[in-house]
Amino acid sequence: MTIVTIIGNMDTIIGNYFGFNEAKMAKKYTQIDTDTGEEVGSFVAIIRPKQKSAFERHFTMNQDALKILAKNLTGEQFKVLMMLLADLEYENYIQVSQIDIANTLEMQKTHVSRGIKALLDIGVILEGPKIGRSKTYRLNPQFGWKGTVTNHKKALKHGLSVIDGGKVT
Three-state secondary-structure class, residue 144: strand
CA 43-49-50 angle, 5° bins: 135
d(CA 130, CA 137): 9
Arch. (CATH architecture) of 60-168: Orthogonal Bundle (1.10)
CA neighbours closer than 13 Å in the CB half-sphere of residue 162: 5
C-beta atoms surrounding 81 within 10 Å: 21
Chain mean position to CA 100: 26
Domain ranges of the chain: 3-46, 60-168
Smallest Cα–Cα separation from 60: which of 83, 84, 92, 87? 92
Per-residue pLDDT of the chain (169 residues; tens, 9 = 90+): 555 555 555 444 444 445 545 555 667 777 777 888 888 887 776 666 666 766 777 788 899 999 999 999 999 999 999 999 999 999 999 999 999 999 999 999 999 999 999 999 999 999 988 888 888 999 999 999 998 888 888 988 886 544 444 444 4
Cα separation, 14 vs 8, in Å, equals 12
Spatial CA neighbour of 84 closest among 65, 61, 101: 101
Q: In sequence order, what are the beta bridge partners of 93?
A: 138
Cβ(15)–Cβ(23) below 8 Å: yes
Cβ neighbours, 10 Å, residue 142: 21
